[in-house]
Amino acid sequence: MSLSLPSVILVAVWVASEIGLGITRRSKSAGADSLDRSSLRLLWIVITLSVTAGMMLSGRGWGGFGPGPWEATGAGIIVAGIALRWWAILSLKQAFTVDVAIAQGQQLNRSGLYSVVRHPSYSGSLLSFLGLGIALRNWASLVAIVVPITAAFLYRIAIEERALSAAFGDAYADYARRTRRLVPYLY
């Protein structure tokens, strides 16, 4: 099943915003590549392959969700995910980069969204991918998109948390004990 024109436009705006972030919010730190451990590259590859597979699978005649407002529900979840991601990004201001990097003098943010989860930007991204899977109205598409992308984000989170632990020591360990990674009160 293909997406309607409004959903295609929504996804195009989402993709454009991510490309814009990728171009404008790279760390200028010389050590960023070593901290990132190619997790950004891996994330982009997994996202590209998973979304492509999900789109291809949605056109098959099997695995459909059945009647219901699936595309509209998925689009709403995509918008909620984008809003959450941008809220997290804007609250970090200049400290946000697309690659794993800790700037000299950077402070650990534990306020706002970051008082509830440690990685609200990733929570927003994953929510948007869940919405895309739902909008495609196909179980195989949903699984093809959500499972590998979630695994790639979990890999990146592990790398990022090692870097944050190294930079902030006991302060980060205490923060990690008090907050969940992605979902408030759950995980």
Secondary structure class of 117 (helix, strand, coil):
strand
60 versus 159: the higher-pLDDT residue is: 159
Span 63-103, pLDDT tens digits = 899 899 999 999 999 999 999 999 999 998 888 888 888 87
Look-up of token digits 């979902």: 183
This prediction's pTM = 0.91
Alpha helices (runs of H) in the chain, residue ranges in sequence order: 5-24, 32-36, 39-58, 70-92, 120-135, 139-178
Domain ranges of the chain: 5-16+32-178
Q: For domain 5-16+32-178, which architecture applies? A: Up-down Bundle (1.20)
Token duo for residue 14:
């989402």
Give the burial class of 142: count Cβ atoms within 10 A of its Cβ; 0-12 exposed, 13-18 middle, 19 or more buried: buried
